[in-house]
Amino acid sequence: MVSEPGTSVESSGSSTENRESSAESDSSPDPVEARLEDALERVAHGATVSVPAILLQRGFTLAFTAILTNGFAASSYGAFALARRLQRFLLRLALGFRSGLSRFLPNAESAEERDALATFASLLLVGVATAFGVVLFAAAPLVTELADEGEQFRLFLQVFAVGLPAGVWLFTVTEILRGIEAVGPLNLTLRVGFPTAQLAVGAVAAYLFHDLALAAVGVMLVMGLTGVAAAGWLARERGFRPRLRGVDAGRLRRKYLRFTLPLFVGGFATTTQRLGFYPLIAVFLSSVAGGVFAVGVLLGTLVRLPLMGINQFIPPVAAALNEEGHREALRRLYHVTSRLVLVGVTALSIPVVVYRESVMRLFGPTFVEYAPLLPGFIVAQYAACAAGSVGILLTMTDNQRALLVVNVVITAFLAVTAIPLTTQFGLPGLVISYVLMLTVNNGLEVAVLYYLEGLQPFTRLHAKPLIAAVPLALVALGVKVAVPGAVAPVTGSAAGLLAYAKSLQLLGFTQVERRLGASLVGRYREALSEGWR
């Protein structure tokens, strides 16, 4: 599918702004408005529970990491983090087959078809994960030798290899929950249950047994058990049952494989982009560098909170709009959600950059030495979030093959830049390649989505959060200079965010933004009032 003749980024943005600003004065029924309102309501429903749950998850993950970095030597934590990221490389590859769940479950014609899709996808994902786990376990001695690490590193690799199917099972079940838009159980499973259990086993391993290998075993166990509990809820509350035959199962399997196979193959490229830095660390750098890079990436992903909240139900919502041919509603949904993401990402990024030394101090004195590298991780994630849900929209509009081409190109770019930068400049060079990879990848995805579907995220309204970011940065920097000690990060962040909010208020909001904001506020108010009863 190609873009409509005569459509341009500028005209698309201008026409959208005009429609949004005039919507309040147009009282006639508008099918585009109706579809957009329904889509915004569904996205708001997901974000209402998802954003607090994701915030809680990130907080528990930060606490888990801080417990390990403060409870063990930086080199020991680095070996743990490096082994876990190498396992995650294979886990992400296996999960290349899961996107079909969000694509096809919302449009399943019957419970039998739904069950057949979920069963086939689960068997496929766990089977691939088991094969990858066997490979990693067998290769652990060789990988340890190549990385020039000790026996502890080999033990970590083998523990994570055995636990690989459990991790894939958890993410498979949560993808089913996302596909049926079960927002509460999804967040309870992935954002609350697992990180809480992970934090508990980390604390026990660090403070009671002083054994980092026990933390690795505990993490894998709680992943599997959390996935089993969520599967039990699906069977009990939604009537999911294993189904291998009937409802033209062969046709469903072929359809699922046709859709997901390019994504799985492309996953080798996307996973190399996201996690290929860790093999480079293993070969060229030290375990301490692996720990620092893992902490930097974790802190960088904090700024992704707004995008993650919006993305909870963008896949099924976008898939339904695309399937039903509601192109204008899909375009306007993309505009408003990408603006909302930019507002939130800007608010989260600047305080972390300004108070980077204080943030890194949470993880111990070794990590404070690497605080100058933290802005690189933040900038990389800012670039990755600036265009909103571009990768999801490419997938949900059935352009997964184009996404595969994009990812292969970016992976080739990464290969020819990351290795020389790392060998020449060490860890700073690796961070530079990380920034380049996410920035170029996001820009290319935006260009491809616009070329194929006529969809692009930006309008002139996207300049407002960038303008409002100036007083936020000035206030935060002023407080940092004027107020000494640990009070500065809290005071400066709060004052800066207040200035940011006031600036946005002065710049004004569109009718669609006010509608989405009112929906979110109303849902939070309703949830809080029900909680007090």
What are the DSSP calls for 221-289, one per residue?
HHHHHHHHHHHHHHHHHS------SSTTHHHHHHHHHHHHHHHHHHHHHHHHHHHTHHHHHHHHS-HHH
Task: Indicate the burial class of 83 (C-beta count within 10 angstroms; 0-12, 13-18, 19 or more).
Answer: buried
pLDDT at 23 over 50: no
Q: Hey, what are 240's tokens?
A: 């999911």
Average confidence (pLDDT) over 397-420: 85
pLDDT at 93 over 60: yes
Nearest by Cα to 216 from 128, 126, 88: 88
Q: Where are the domains of the chain?
A: 9-18+38-527
131-133-134-138 Cα dihedral, nearest 10 degrees: 140
Nearest by Cα to 123 from 307, 271, 249: 249
Nearest by Cα to 15 from 322, 331, 302: 331
Q: Are 423 and 284 in contact (CB under 8 A)?
A: yes
Report d(CA 472, CA 478) in Å as an integer.
10
Instruction: Say what the pLDDT of residue 46 is.
Output: 64
pLDDT band at 524 (very low <50, low <70, confident <90, very high): low
| Entry pTM | 0.81
Tens-place pLDDT, residues 339-394: 888 999 999 999 999 999 999 999 999 999 999 999 999 999 999 898 888 888 88
Tens-place pLDDT, residues 276-306: 899 999 989 999 999 999 999 999 988 888 8
pLDDT band at 337 (very low <50, low <70, confident <90, very high): confident
Q: Could you tell me the CA-to-CA distances from 113 to 103, 371, 376 in Å, in that order?
A: 13, 52, 46
Instruction: Say what the pLDDT of residue 79 is.
Output: 95
Nearest by Cα to 318 from 398, 402, 405, 400: 398
List alpha helices for 426-462, DSSP H.
Answer: 427-453
Nearest by Cα to 465 from 385, 378, 357: 385
Average confidence (pLDDT) over 119-127: 94
pLDDT at 308 over 50: yes
Tens-place pLDDT, residues 221-274: 999 999 999 999 999 988 888 888 777 778 888 888 988 888 888 788 778 878
Instruction: Say what the pLDDT of residue 528 is.
Output: 58
Report d(CA 444, CA 146) in Å as an integer.
34
Q: Hey, what are 30's tokens?
A: 């508008």
First-last CA distance in the chain: 52
| 375-405 burial code (b ≥16 CB/10 A, e <16) | bbbbbbbbbbbbbbbbbbbbbbbbbbebbbe
Which run of H or E residues covers position 247? none
Q: Hey, what are 379's tokens?
A: 């900038």
Of residues 213 and 52, more confidence is placed in 213
Report d(CA 55, CA 57) in Å as an integer.
5
Report d(CA 447, CA 452) in Å as an integer.
9
Q: Are 171 and 98 in contact (CB under 8 A)?
A: yes
Q: Which residues lie closer than 8 Å to 502 by C-beta, 6 or more apart?
A: 471
| Total residues belonging to the chain | 533
Nearest by Cα to 290 from 77, 32, 33: 77
Secondary structure (DSSP) of 319-342: HHHHHTT-HHHHHHHHHHHHHHHH
Q: Could you tell me the CA-to-CA distances from 519 to 42, 124, 254, 281, 435 in Å, in that order?
A: 10, 39, 40, 45, 35
Q: Among 25-29, 114-118, 341-345, where is mean pLDDT lowest?
A: 25-29
Which run of H or E residues covers position 226? helix 212-237
Report d(CA 458, CA 231) in Å as an integer.
39
Q: How many CA atoms lie within 13 A of 373 on its CB side?
A: 23
Instruction: Say what the pLDDT of residue 529 is.
Output: 63
Average confidence (pLDDT) over 130-143: 96
Report d(CA 189, CA 337) in Å as an integer.
25
Range 251-260, long-range pairs (CB < 8 A, 24+ positions): 252/113, 252/116, 252/117, 252/120, 253/120, 255/104, 256/100, 256/104, 256/117, 256/120, 256/121, 256/124, 259/99, 259/100, 259/103, 259/104, 259/398, 259/400, 260/96, 260/97, 260/98, 260/99, 260/100
Q: Which residues lie closer than 8 Å to 199 by C-beta, 6 or more apart?
A: 60, 63, 64, 67
Report d(CA 186, CA 180) in Å as an integer.
10
Q: What is the residue type of 14?
A: S
Q: What is the residue type of 480?
A: K
